[in-house]
Amino acid sequence: MIHSFEFYLEVDDCAINQLLTTYGLSGNSMSNVKSVVKSINQKIIHLFDGIKFTTLREKHKRSYYLSLKVDLVKLLTRNNIEEKDYQLIHERIQDMINHSFGMHVSFESHVLTRIDYKHDVYLNNEAESELLFHLIEKQTNKYRQKTKIRWMKDENGIPYRFTSSQYHKNASSELFVYNKELERKAKNEPISNYQNMVRVELRLRNGHLNSKKRQDEILFGKKLSNYFSDALRREYFQSHVVPIMHSGDYCKINLVRQKLKLSNFSKVKKERLEDFMISISRGSLDTPKNHLSPATYRNYLKELSSLGINPILIPKNRKDFPSFFKNPFSF
């Protein structure tokens, strides 16, 4: 359900002094807060794995902001995080706060600044992963102001192209689809239970959380409890992910023709839907927008979905690809 989240606490100088004492640091170390954060994280990982301090800054005299990130998979030592786990997570974080600051800082005072929802699926083999990422390369370049990113730069500034991932982002949210097994290998981390796993992450950043709070502070105040809901996660995936990933199974054109033939659509509509998919196959999901009205475009997608057909075709000239590939995602 939730992969990780970030938040900050506002604490006073007494709490900071206790923090430094707890982790064996002197008051003079505050002249280099980056070093303080690094030193704390080197020790806290052995006590509360999954919780990491990210920044420490002074708000004004005797008051500080402390930002933290929580990886729930590490914190609970399991991949499946459920809504019923909220109280346990709350207690674990409060234990860390009590250990670090003493008893006068409460997790209830936290302000949420980011939350990452996740959806994991397992494929049968590496060939299915290759097929999946080949197909979703045809996805739209922009939706809800999220732009598809094809190239990134590594730590040395050298450009590289995504081959086992798909990345869409704007200033307030991000959609990241990636092969979890390959990511673990790239980081020289144990594969563990991630073999043949593909993960979809929807990352809601601070700008989005602020916007939701302005809409309804009671329902969407910046607290973890307000977002720790599987129903809300599903709602977010339906509105932010499905319009990019699309529902329906992937087929080669001959199988699509068979499915269209069995449908109740008119002959003309069947031909137009076939032409629509061929246009996407020759370009991308954006290509038909050049000659169709927005209403017609949306209607064609809806009609294909009603038949269980994904609008992206499996290329017929790829003999190594099957004629049918069941969509692994069910949001």
pLDDT digits (tens, 9 = 90+) for 82-125: 999 999 999 999 999 999 998 889 999 999 999 999 999 999 99
Give the pLDDT confidence of 226-277 residue by residue, as tens digits.
Answer: 999 999 999 999 999 999 999 999 999 999 999 999 999 999 999 999 999 9
The predicted structure's pLDDT at residue 26: 87
Could you tell me if 185 and 191 are in contact, meaning their C-beta atoms sit under 8 angstroms apart? yes
Helix (H) or strand (E) holding 204: strand 197-204
Within 10 angstroms of residue 222's Cβ, the number of other Cβ atoms is 19
- What number is the average pLDDT over the span 274-281? 98
Rounded to the nearest 10 degrees, the angle between the axes of helix 86-101 and helix 33-44 is 120
The predicted structure's pLDDT at residue 158: 53
Query: Per-residue confidence at 31, pLDDT binned at 50, 70, 90?
Result: confident
Whether residue 152 has pLDDT greater than 60: no
pTM recorded for the entire structure: 0.90
CA distance 9 to 107: 8
Instruction: Calculate the average pLDDT of the chain.
Output: 92
Cβ-based burial of 39 (10 A; exposed 0-12, middle 13-18, buried ≥19)? middle
CA distance 324 to 222: 44
Whether residue 180 has pLDDT greater than 60: yes
Q: Percentage of the chain with pLDDT > 90?
A: 80
Give the single-character DSSP code of 321: S
Better pLDDT: 323 or 162: 323
What is the Cα 327 distance to its own chain's centre?
18
Q: Is 171 helix (H, G, I), strand (E, B) or coil?
A: coil
In degrees, rounded to 5, the angle at the alpha carbon of residue 186 between the alpha carbons of residues 166 and 181 is: 65
Could you tell me if 223 and 112 are in contact, meaning their C-beta atoms sit under 8 angstroms apart? yes
| 285-to-185, 263, 290 alpha-carbon distances in Å | 31, 23, 11
Q: Please, which residues have CB within 8 angstroms of residue 195's CB and are 6 or more apart in sequence?
A: 181
The pairing of strands 197-204 and 250-251 is unpaired
Q: Is 11 helix (H, G, I), strand (E, B) or coil?
A: strand
Could you tell me if 8 and 70 are in contact, meaning their C-beta atoms sit under 8 angstroms apart? no
The predicted structure's pLDDT at residue 104: 83
Query: Per-residue confidence at 155, pLDDT binned at 50, 70, 90?
Result: low
Q: Is 216 helix (H, G, I), strand (E, B) or coil?
A: coil
For 51, how many CA atoms within 13 A lie in the half-sphere containing its CB?
23
CA distance 275 to 270: 9
Q: Which of 79-93, 176-190, 308-322 bottoms out in mean pLDDT, i.e. has the lowest?
A: 176-190
